[in-house]
Chain A
């Protein structure tokens, strides 16, 4: 699965539109993930996961910032995400299934907030992009 030139262009355009809301959307996507897929909460026993939690907000911003970096370096994700890849493989060890769950909730969040941008073609490109990021983040697991 390879990101085409059109995919990269779609992702950059969409992420560009999001601008400073990225942190909010990262937070919302996390909240949706915890709400819809309660098993994901097992990775955050040390967090206050209630609505409006400062910890979730900070983490959402972190996730969004990483995705912004990924978009900026979309031509070389393995390099750009290398440190995060190490972190997930050796320290966090989040089961790979969970990346699909968060990716889905990121799509839902974007669909809610940017209906005009969320065309079928952009939906496809974003799904591929999140999948590519997830693949890199789990690439050193074994």
Chain B
């Protein structure tokens, strides 16, 4: 049994093909830090996070957002085995980074908002539903190795 139906895979890949992963990564991470300021706790070394403008323009935020979303994008290539694809990263986030998995859910939903912002009407309810499944799957996969 597949994680996404063939139709859902089509919707996801169809939209993802048009995404500028580097830019969207920076945008999503930036908005996470603006909308949910407590998430800044993981980024004390990133410099100026004092305002929405400072956060969105911060080069470390953009670089890290790019890294995170490229990893997410790689995961999409293994959509039927997200737990396998993210096993190592899951261990890292638990053992070294000590990130509460709730943060993955928050970032996933911010990513959905960013996609809606970029794609407008094209990001219709069916496309959104497919992406909600993907971000939930990735969040669960990243939480899977926690102990």
A residues near B (Cβ < 8 Å) are 28, 31-32, 35-37, 104-105, 107-109, 111-113, 115, 118-121, 123-124, 127
Which chain A residues border B30 with CB–CB below 8 Å? 120
Known contacts: A120-B52, A120-B55, A123-B34. The answer to whether A108 contacts B129 by CB under 8 A is no
Q: 5 more A-B contacts (CB under 8 A) besides A35-B126, A112-B116? A: A36-B129, A104-B109, A108-B112, A119-B52, A120-B35
Which chain A residues border B17 with CB–CB below 8 Å? none
B125 touches A36 (CB 8 A): yes
Known contacts: A119-B52, A120-B55, A127-B35. The answer to whether A112 contacts B123 by CB under 8 A is yes
Known contacts: A37-B132, A123-B35. The answer to whether A118 contacts B52 by CB under 8 A is no
Known contacts: A120-B34, A120-B56, A124-B34. The answer to whether A31 contacts B125 by CB under 8 A is yes
Which chain B residues border A120 with CB–CB below 8 Å? 30-31, 34-35, 52, 55-56
Known contacts: A35-B126, A124-B52. The answer to whether A111 contacts B35 by CB under 8 A is no
**Which of A35, A115, A124 contacts B35 (CB under 8 A)?**
A124
Q: Would you call the interface of chain B mostly helix, strand, loop, or mixed?
A: helix
B residues near A (Cβ < 8 Å) are 30-31, 34-35, 52, 55-56, 109, 112-114, 116-121, 123, 125-126, 128-129, 132
Measured CB to CB, the closest approach of chain B to A52, in angstroms, equals 12
B55 touches A111 (CB 8 A): no
> How many angstroms between the C-alpha atoms of A37 and B31 in the bound complex?
23
Known contacts: A120-B52, A124-B35. The answer to whether A115 contacts B125 by CB under 8 A is no
B117 touches A118 (CB 8 A): yes
B113 touches A108 (CB 8 A): yes
A115 touches B128 (CB 8 A): no
Which chain B residues border A118 with CB–CB below 8 Å? 113, 117
Closest chain A residue to B51, Cβ basis: A121
> How many angstroms between the C-alpha atoms of A18 and B117 in the bound complex?
16
Closest chain B residue to A34, Cβ basis: B125
Known contacts: A108-B123, A113-B120. The answer to whether A123 contacts B113 by CB under 8 A is yes
Measured CB to CB, the closest approach of chain B to A28, in angstroms, equals 8
Which chain B residues border A108 with CB–CB below 8 Å? 112-113, 116, 123, 128
Q: List 13 A-B contacts (CB under 8 A).
A: A32-B129, A35-B128, A104-B112, A108-B123, A112-B117, A112-B120, A115-B118, A118-B117, A120-B31, A121-B34, A121-B52, A123-B31, A124-B35
Which chain A residues border B56 with CB–CB below 8 Å? 120
B125 touches A32 (CB 8 A): yes
Closest chain B residue to A105, Cβ basis: B128
